[in-house]
Structure 1
Amino acid sequence: MKSALTVIKEQVNYFYLVRRLSLYEIKSSNMNNYLGMLWELINPAIQISIYWFVFGFGIRNRVGEGGMDFFPWMLSGIVVWFMINQGLLEASKSIFKKIKMLSKMNFPMSVIPSYVIFSKFYPHLTLLALVMIILNAMGFTISIYYIQLPLYMFGVLALLYAISLITSTLATIVRDVQMFLQSTLRMLLYLSPILWDVSQFGEDLNWLKILMKINPFYYVVESYRTSLLGQGWYFIEEWEYTLYFVGVIAVLFIIGAALHVKFRRHFIDFL
């Protein structure tokens, strides 16, 4: 618990630096591209088009009890996945890639995964605004349920940071962790309710629904979808699942903070 409090204090005290470095990270990662930061929108657009064609036309056209069109259903859930995927991959390798910065700047190592994740948050906001416009044009008008989105945004940022504290520490010690994480995220794309509707499972597959809900990204995707499609107050209607989600974040953060604080003095020995 002491390690967790230490990391929290570091995030609060150096939050101004997190914002500055996250903006620099976005610019530096796109500075060699002609289209620059437009690629932060182009890449998701290409992937969404592929998934829509394969799963929307090739496998199903309608999902859910009311027979909703597949495209808005998928779009409202997948919008958060790009931040999850890129945020975790980049944050997990951030310490061993950027530790040399510590020789030029004086800030704690726990800030490194934080600002890398935050650098993915700005493109997410832009993509989210674009998705809102598209959904509004398709008949899913802006509703009062949108006001719960900041709560879910904070939740996904907290979850990503808690996981990245663990993975960035382990990836610095054992580089194979990064490859394992890439494979795991590919698998989680299909184990989250992004491309197929879990509610269409029969009663004989209830065990599979419960198993999939263990995945905290399930909560994130469904909460975004419920908000953007104006279907209800997910964190209230699924209050037990909300408590589970918060509990997972707390446990992962305590474990990650303990690992990070324990090994960060020795990170340079593994480089």
Structure 2
Amino acid sequence: MRSSIVVLKEQIKQFHLVRRLSVYEIKSQTSGNYLGAAWEIINPAIQIMIYWFVFGFGIRQRAPIGDVEYFQWLFAGILVWFFINQGVMKATRSIYTKIRMLAKMNFPMSVIPNYVVISQFYPHLILLGIGIIILQFMGYPVSIYYLQLPLYMAATIALLFSITLITSTLATIVRDVQMMLQAMMRMLLYLSPILWPPTLLPESWQTWLKLNPFYYIVEGYRNTLLGQGWYFLENPMYTLYFCGLVIVLFMIGAYLHVKFRSQFIDFL
């Protein structure tokens, strides 16, 4: 608990530094490309079209999901996945790739995975804005359910920071964690209800599937963008489970980070 309080205080105290470093991070990533930040839109667009063609035309034969066409259903759920995937992967390797450069700067190391996660939030906002405009022309206008969207954004950031506190610490100690996590994230894409509806599984299996916290985020986004309901209110026990899991992950991540951060430089 003490470690959690320490890390939480560090994030609050260094909030403005996190914001500045996150802006610098996204600029540094796109400065060497001719198209710059446009790649943050181009890459997801290509992947969405591939998934839509393979799963929509090939496997599902253009069959709708309930009363929603497959493309709109896929599109509303996958928008947040790009943020999740990039946030986890880049923040996991953030400490051991940046610690030498930042060692002389006077701020706590727990800030590093946080500002990397936030740097991936900016492209997500752009992609989400474009997605909302596209959905308007597909028959899904902005509705009152959009009021819950900031809640899912905050939940996603909290979840990613909690996870990457753990993974960035472990990846600094053991580099194999990065490769293992890459395989796990690829697997989670297919185990989360992004490319296929969970209703294809027996109801007892769906309960196990919901142990994946990304399920909650994806379904929350999908219910918001497609105007299908107040997901967090309609599933109160699942909301409590998600919040409890984030707290537990944060406590574990904070403990590991505070315990090992004085030794990080020794593992490089």
The bucket for the TM-score relative to the shorter chain is over 0.9
CA–CA distance in 2 between the matches of 1:52 and 1:65? Answer: 17
Percent identity of paired positions between Structure 1 and Structure 2? 63
What's 1:64 paired with? Answer: 65
Amino acid at match of 2:186: R
Q: How many residues align?
A: 267
103-112 vs 122-131, which moves further: 103-112
Cα offset, 1:63, TM superposition: 3.4
Is the aligned partner of 1:254 residue 2:251? yes
Is the aligned partner of 1:94 residue 2:91? no
Cα offset, 1:100, TM superposition: 1.4
Q: Superposed, which structure 2 residues align to 1:221-240 within 5 Å?
A: 221-240=218-237
CA–CA distance in 2 between the matches of 1:63 and 1:215? Answer: 24
CA–CA distance in 2 between the matches of 1:109 and 1:270? Answer: 15
What's 2:111 paired with? Answer: 111
TM-score (norm 2): 0.98
Deviations 1:195-235 (A, max 9, x none): 0011233xxx2222111100000000000000000000000
Amino acid at match of 2:263: H
TM-score (norm 1): 0.97
Deviations 1:229-268 (A, max 9, x none): 0000000001110000001100000000000000000001
Is the aligned partner of 1:268 residue 2:255? no
Q: Which runs of 5+ in 1 are unaligned?
A: none
Is the aligned partner of 1:216 residue 2:223? no
Answer yes or no: is the 8 Å Cα contact 1:64–1:200 preserved in 2: no
Is the aligned partner of 1:77 residue 2:67? no
Q: Secondary structure at the match of 1:95?
A: helix
What's 1:42 paired with? Answer: 42
Q: Secondary structure at the match of 1:32?
A: coil
Deviations 1:168-216 (A, max 9, x none): 0000000000000000000000000000011233xxx222211110000
CA–CA distance in 2 between the matches of 1:253 and 1:130? Answer: 32
Report the aligned-residue RMSD: 0.8
Amino acid at match of 1:199: T
